[in-house]
Amino acid sequence: MPTVELPAGQQIPALGQGTWGLGEDPAYHDEEVAALRTGLDLEMTVVDTAEMYGDGAAEQLVGDAVFDRRDDAFIVTKVLPSHAGRPDTLRACEASLHRLRTDYIDLYLLHWPGPVPLDETVDAFTVLQDQGKIRFWGVSNFDGVDLMELTAVQDGGAVQTDQVLYNLVHRGIEWDLLPACQRDGPLIMAYSPFDHRGTVLRHPAVAAVADRHGVTPAQVAITWVLRQDGVTTIPKASTPEHTRENHGALAVRLDLEDYAVLDRAFPPPDGPRPLEMI
């Protein structure tokens, strides 16, 4: 398993697991738990979730999957901007810890920028670190200006990750945010590598590259994201078979011809773009 390094020096797997949309139907609970546990077996130990996902149902699913394997997992969860004030963040973290069935969170993120002053949120994160309830903190859906504002507040430089939308369809961060983070941090964590609408997996160019290598379009999509230095990605899988398929992307080796085909189908940005998010 290739790894990437957080600014604090912690190594984490480049390929993890997402949970958006999981945990919402009890009929699929056991299979979804098995999918996450299969990922742990395959060293895909970063498990990303959020208090927003299914109103806490995804966190509960993660808790069910890792409660007896806590040391095998690097749990990432997120606090809503509406809970980003100091006392609300402390309460939200306690609720997430309860749903996750753990006494600490590895990486706690602010889900997107909101109306609460960033110094309040950072102060709450610092308190939670001091209490041993979170190990690291970061943000999600922050553009370059947002990150500059964040790092200007006291202790804001301790930010470890910026989790953002990045895939073949949504390449805007390549113009400015990605190179800046590769140079100075924080680490980019790419969500939705397949694109939530399925555009990437259905595209004939992706299918052609996949056929050329005898792999799946999903594996091509993951391999394309992971070509970037200092980037980790968190594709969702709802079955053990899908988890193993995602893991198989690590064995895929695309060449310059493949990347040229994909660039023609999904051109890189030719200028700055507003940060996209879902």
Q: 198 pLDDT exceeds 90?
A: no
| Burial (CB count within 10 angstroms: exposed 0-12, middle 13-18, buried 19+), residue 270 | exposed
Structure token digits, residue 127: 């308190």
Does 259 map to a domain?
Answer: no
Residue 246 counted as domain residue: no
Whether residue 79 lies inside any domain: the answer is: yes
Tell me the three-class secondary structure of 200-269, residue by residue. Answer: HHHCHHHHHHHHHHCCCHHHHHHHHHHCCCCEEECCECCCHHHHHHHHHHHHCCCCHHHHHHHHHHCCCC
- At residue 249, the pLDDT reads 98
53 labelled catalytic: yes
184 within domain boundaries: yes
Q: pTM for this structure?
A: 0.96
**Number of domains making up the chain:** 1
Q: Which residue has the tokens 């098995």?
A: 34
The answer to whether position 213 is within a domain reads no
The single residue of 53, 108, 166, 191 carrying the catalytic annotation is 53
**Residue 90 lies inside a defined structural domain of this protein:** yes
What pLDDT digit, counting tens, does each position of 51-101 carry? 999 999 999 999 999 999 999 999 999 999 999 999 999 999 999 999 999
Determine the longest span between alpha carbons in the chain, in angstroms: 54
Give the C-alpha separation, 88 to 125, whole Å.
11
pLDDT tens digit string along 224-277?
999 999 999 999 999 999 999 999 999 999 999 999 999 999 999 999 999 999
**CATH number (domain holding residue 91):** 3.20.20.100
* Domain assignment present for 41: yes
Whether residue 210 is contained in a domain is answered as: no
Which residues form the domain of 193? Answer: 3-203+221-240
